[in-house]
Amino acid sequence: MINHSTAGRPVEILLVEDNPGDVRLIREMLRGAGAGHAHVELAQTDRLSSGVEHLAQVGADVVLLDLSLPDSQGLETFTSVHAAAPSVPVVVLSGLDDESVAVRAVQEGAQDYLVKGQVDGGTILRSVRYAIERQRLEAARRDLERQRDEFFSSVSHDLRTPVAAIKAAIGVVLANEPPNMPPALHRLLGNVDLAADELATLIEDLLEIARLQSGRVELWRSTVDLRDVVARAVRALEPLTQARSQHVEMSLPGEPIVASVDVDRLGRVLRNLLGNAQKYGRDGGTISLTLEHDAANVCVSVTDDGPGIPREVQERIFERFYRVRGAASSGPAGTGLGLAIARGLTELHGGRLWVESTPGQGSTFHVTLPQR
C-alpha cells in the first residue's frame, strides 16, 4: 500500500520511552531493518509530558508509546496522548505483564501494540506503516461520513418548506371538497396527505440524526413521573394497536417514578420501541411494557411476539439506515433511522438501549436511565 500522506518524505516516529536500554534497542532494530534506507526519523522523549509537548510543537506521523512512564502509567498514558493528538496514530509498546492493558488501548483507538522482546525492526516498521495507513483511511472514512451527513442535513432542510406547502395545500383542498367529488379522487387526495406526512417524518428523522451525529441536540429536562410518560406513549399508539387487534399489557409500579428527563425526547424513544413492537408484532397479539426501578436506575422494557431478530444483527439494527432483510412488518416500510435515533437520545440521557431476542420468540427492548 502506498502511503500518500508521507510519500517522498521521511516517516517521523516519536518514541515515548523512558528506559534507555529499550530506546537503544529500538533505534538499533530500526537501523538494522534498513530504516535509514526507508527514510525514518526517530525522535524520542522519556516522559508523557514531553511527548505531548513534542506532538504539539513538532508533530509526528506516528507515536511508539511505552505505557509505563515516570509521569503516567497504564491506559491513561495512551488516552492522554490520544486526546492531545487524536489524528496521530499510536502503536503501544508493552511488556508481557501489561499486554492486557495494551489490548484495551487498541480497543480505545490505538492502532496496534507490540510486545517488547517479541519484535524486531522489520515488525516495528511494518506496524508503524500500517498504523499510518489505517489512520489515514479512517480519517478519509470519517470525512466521507461527515460530508454525507452534511448533505442529508442540507437537503432535508431544503425539503422541509415544500413538504409543508404540499401539506397545507392538501389541507385546504380537503377542507373545501365539493360534495360531488368522485370517491376515487377523494381517496387519492387522502393518499397525498398521508404521503406528505410520511415525507415530513422522514425529513424530521434525517434532521434529528444529523443533529445527534454532530452533538447539537440539547435536552430540555424536567422532573416528571415516568409512569405518565410511558402511559402517554402507549395512548399515542392506540389507533394502530386497535387496528390490528393488539393488546398492550402495562406493568407500572404503584408509586411515582420520578426522574429528570427530556419528556419529548424520551417519549420519542418509547414511541419508536412501541411502534416497532406494533409493526413487527402479530395480529391480535400482545405487547408488554414494564417500568421498573432500583436505587440508581429506571428500566423500561418493551416485549413483542413478533419474528424476533437474528443474533448476528442485534447490534446492527441500531445503526443508521440498517434494516433486517425480509423482516415482515405491517404499515409503511421504515427508514432504519428509528432505533439509531432512539439509542442516540437514550445515551444523551446517560442511559442505555439494547435488545434481547430469540428468533421466532419475539423481542424485548430495554431502556435504562439513571434516576436523578
Residue of 248, 276, 252 whose CA lies nearest to 341: 276
Torsion, Cα 46 51 53 57, to 10 degrees, reads: 120
How many residues appear in the chain?
372
Site string for ligand ADP, 28-67 (x = CB under 6 A): ----------------------------------------
Q: How is residue 69 annotated by DSSP?
A: B
Q: Report in angstroms how near the CB of residue 250 gets to ligand ADP at its nearest.
A: 17
Count of other CB atoms within 10 angstroms of residue 55:
18
237 binds ligand ADP (CB under 6 A): no
Q: What is the end-to-end Cα distance of the chain in Å, rounded?
A: 52
| C-alpha dihedral sign at 125, 127, 128, 133 | positive
Q: CA-CA distance, 105 to 80, in Å (whole number)?
A: 11
Size of the site for ligand ADP (CB under 6 A): 21
280 binds ligand ADP (CB under 6 A): yes
- CA 323: distance to chain centroid? 16
Site for ligand ADP in 311-340 (CB under 6 A): 317, 322-324, 327, 334-340
Smaller CB separation from ligand ADP, 136 or 366: 366
Smaller CB separation from ligand ADP, 134 or 352: 352
Q: CA-CA distance, 215 to 337, in Å (whole number)?
A: 17
Smaller CB separation from ligand ADP, 105 or 277: 277
Q: Report in angstroms how near the CB of residue 341 gets to ligand ADP at its nearest.
A: 8
Q: CA-CA distance, 213 to 345, in Å (whole number)?
A: 11
Q: Report in angstroms how near the CB of residue 261 gets to ligand ADP at its nearest.
A: 20
121 binds ligand ADP (CB under 6 A): no
277 binds ligand ADP (CB under 6 A): yes
Count of other CB atoms within 10 angstroms of residue 129:
18
Q: CA-CA distance, 132 to 134, in Å (whole number)?
A: 6
276 binds ligand ADP (CB under 6 A): yes
113 binds ligand ADP (CB under 6 A): no
Q: Which residue has the cell 413483542?
A: 304
344 binds ligand ADP (CB under 6 A): no
Residue nearest to ligand ADP (CB): 334
Stretch that binds ligand ADP, among 19-27, 79-87, 104-112, 275-283 (CB under 6 A): 275-283
Smaller CB separation from ligand ADP, 13 or 353: 353
Smaller CB separation from ligand ADP, 42 or 300: 300
SS3 66: strand
304 binds ligand ADP (CB under 6 A): yes
Q: Report in angstroms how near the CB of residue 247 gets to ligand ADP at its nearest.
A: 16
**Apex 268 CA angle, 336 and 214, nearest 5:** 65
Count of other CB atoms within 10 angstroms of residue 329:
16
Q: Report in angstroms how near the CB of residue 311 gets to ligand ADP at its nearest.
A: 13
Smaller CB separation from ligand ADP, 152 or 322: 322
| Longest distance between any two alpha carbons in the chain, whole Å | 95
The residues that touch ligand ADP, with contacts defined as CB under 6 A, are: 272, 276-277, 280, 304, 306-307, 309, 317, 322-324, 327, 334-340, 363
